[in-house]
Amino acid sequence: MLHKAAPTLQSQGRITLFTTGQLKTHLSQSFHRSWDANDDSYDYTRGRFLSNEPHEMKIRRVKLNLNELAKSAAESIGFTYSQCVRIEKFPDGMFNKAFLFTMQDGTQVVGKVPNPNAGRPHYTTASEVATMDFVRNELSTPVPRVLAWSSEANENPVGAEYIIMEKAEGVQLDKVWPKMDIKKRFELVKTIAEYQKAWMSRSFTQYGSLYYSSGLPNIEGCVLVKEDGSNCKEHRFAVGPTTGREFLDDGRIDVDFDRGPWGSVHQYKSAVGFRELACVQNMARLPRSFLGLYGPGTYTPSRFKKIAALQHYLCLLPYFLPTDKSISSAFLWHPDLHTENIFVHPDRPSEVLSIIDWQSSEILPLFDHARQPYFLDYDGPPATGLDPPEFPKNFDELDPDEQRRAHGLYLNMSLATLYRKLTSTKNGTLFRAMEFGQTPSFDMMLFAQNLLIDGEALYRARILDIEQEWSSLPGVQASGTQPFPLEFSAEDVNSIGEDADGAIEGMELMQSVKESLGELWPEKGIVRPERYDEAKRLLKEIKTELIARLAHSEAESKAWEESWPFDD
């Protein structure tokens, strides 16, 4: 069969005649370049860090062979490497690099490569892939299909772990959310609530993260519990060590402790306490807090006091745990439902087309998952109860800017209340778990999860209050009269009170720094690259002013210098 001749191309003084098919191949090969030429593909470029930047950049740099990743992307959908005609790097995430690969016919797929800080080798990628499979095929949730993957960086030509997946359909919710009216927003909330209901159609008998059973040695599947309470053996999937961020961040990734899986909620919550203890006891240097500015005259964090707070947590833990077993059951949940992870139909934004970023998903007690989706969060008083919020009575007396803020807050609170009411009506178990999240018991378990970084002073003070609320704790009510198991002398009580006052003062000082920086405040320690020098200069001025005001001697000046968290 003859092919229609394509236009001629002149090369090295010769005229060459190509068929149409040959021309496509020639053009692809002629203009194909080495994708590894740009080092920005490996570095974190979205922001600059105001503290310990060399380390923060190092744990976000990953070296990979981008040519081989492009080859894997192309072959995953039946193309050859030469037919991948364009690679675009997505904006950096905190834990991953992501690339969009475009083939010569316009087909696109996404490649995702974890940074060193994303998690322990093998486990992070292996768990994410299995989780996406399970959620897509067992929990009926729209999730991109995984096309190819490797969790063994040393055994593939890319030189890094990677996942090749379908490109999510639709547009990110953050692109359309500001234009959606309250009715469309509520329709979207109903859609997300339906998916949460689907996630509760299967629970597990262990806590941890999900994997393929073939990827975990000596483990033969897991047990799933259906909505009717019956058990079924699942051979393809298994519960293994957690990939949760709290078991990785702030240096925890390098410390040896129990990462699961766990067979009971008490075992899991105990492991959280022992994890923090292991880190406090074994880290060469405790991580700095960005919640408080601690120095002479405020509060001085110490290993001894952190250990004391954690020992108290472990002692009281059995009394914090809820007696309602349904809200302690182990469920798989999306860890971060914000507007960038939800893709919706551009014309029908209440229609969810894909939910992405299942990395670090965990199988946890339902009460640890139970909160309103992050995209409903707002600045202002939290929505409580089921009654709609009251519209400001003095609205007509406010100036236009104040009216706009008041109206926005009213709509946000209304939407959060609608979510609570919908959950209470359609998903009673999840609502009971949300209600438990408003109790002192839940707070005491939640705050213990980050005592490595901050909070031990206020935690110990809160334990003194717990003694006054002892009879209302779930474990005490379930077991009858139980004496409070901790004893504090008058000297202990006084010391704990002074520490709490000092910690509050330190938090107020940090709040003053935040207010002084305004929009330059480094959320998660990061500022935009173009604002880095300005932020550094302003922080230096603030530090000089604070030390001049707070230090009363050269020794105190030195102590404040050493405790300042924004220097490398």
Helix 303-320 to helix 440-448 angle, to the nearest 10 degrees?
A: 140
Q: How confident is the model at residue 370 (pLDDT cuts 50, 70, 90)?
A: very high
Indicate the helix (H) or strand (E) that contains 550. helix 532-550
* Average pLDDT of span 181-200: 94
* Average pLDDT of span 3-28: 37
Domain ranges of the chain: 1-31, 35-167, 175-265+278-299+323-436, 528-568
User: Is 3.40.640.10 the CATH classification of the domain at 35-167?
Assistant: no
- Confidence check: pLDDT of 411 > 70: yes
Question: What pLDDT score does 33 carry?
Answer: 53
Instruction: Return the higher-pLDDT residue of 399 and 428.
Output: 428
Q: Cα(393)–Cα(461) distance, rounded to whole angstroms?
A: 38
Instruction: Return the higher-pLDDT residue of 388 and 320.
Output: 320
Q: What is the pLDDT of residues 548-562, one digit of tens each?
A: 999 999 999 999 999
Q: Phi-psi region for residue 64, left (φ > 0), alpha (ψ -120 to 50) or beta?
A: beta
**If you average pLDDT over each of 255-259, 372-376, 474-478, which comes out highest?**
255-259
Tell me what the pLDDT averaged over the chain comes to: 90
Task: With CA atoms as reference, report the closest residue to 371 among 315, 318, 416, 321.
Answer: 416
Task: With CA atoms as reference, report the closest residue to 350 among 199, 197, 192.
Answer: 192
Q: Say which range, 15-19, 177-181, 298-302, has the weakest mean pLDDT.
A: 15-19
- Confidence check: pLDDT of 500 > 60: yes
Place of tokens 């991109």: 144
Question: What pLDDT score does 39 carry?
Answer: 56
* Average pLDDT of span 473-490: 91
Q: How confident is the model at residue 10 (pLDDT cuts 50, 70, 90)?
A: very low
Q: Say which range, 316-320, 338-342, 397-401, has the weakest mean pLDDT.
A: 397-401
Question: What pLDDT score does 516 carry?
Answer: 93
Q: What is the pLDDT of residues 80-132, one digit of tens each?
A: 999 999 999 999 899 999 999 999 999 999 999 999 999 999 999 999 999 99
Q: Say which range, 27-36, 381-390, 394-403, has the weakest mean pLDDT.
A: 27-36
Q: What is the pLDDT of residues 277-287, one digit of tens each?
A: 999 999 999 99
- Contact at 8 Å (CB) between 526 and 49? yes
* Average pLDDT of span 401-408: 89
- Confidence check: pLDDT of 36 > 80: no
Say what percent of the chain tops pLDDT 90: 81
With b for 16 or more beta-carbon neighbours within 10 A and e for fewer, the 506-541 pattern comes to bbebbeebeeebeebebeebbbeeeebeebbebbee
Question: What pLDDT score does 106 carry?
Answer: 96
* Average pLDDT of span 526-533: 94
Question: What pLDDT score does 388 carry?
Answer: 86
Q: Give the bridge partners for 364, in sequence order.
A: 331
Q: Cα(364)–Cα(148) distance, rounded to whole angstroms?
A: 28
Q: Say which range, 319-328, 374-383, 456-465, has the weakest mean pLDDT.
A: 374-383
- Confidence check: pLDDT of 346 > 80: yes
200: tokens are: 């509760």
Q: How confident is the model at residue 5 (pLDDT cuts 50, 70, 90)?
A: very low
Instruction: Return the higher-pLDDT residue of 403 and 236.
Output: 236
Q: What is the pLDDT of residues 229-263, one digit of tens each?
A: 899 999 999 999 999 999 999 999 999 999 999 99
- Confidence check: pLDDT of 220 > 90: no
Q: What is the pLDDT of residues 156-169, one digit of tens each?
A: 999 999 999 999 99
Pairing of strands 330-333, 362-365: antiparallel
* Average pLDDT of span 20-45: 54
- Contact at 8 Å (CB) between 225 and 203? yes
Q: How confident is the model at residue 134 (pLDDT cuts 50, 70, 90)?
A: very high
- Contact at 8 Å (CB) between 460 and 467? no
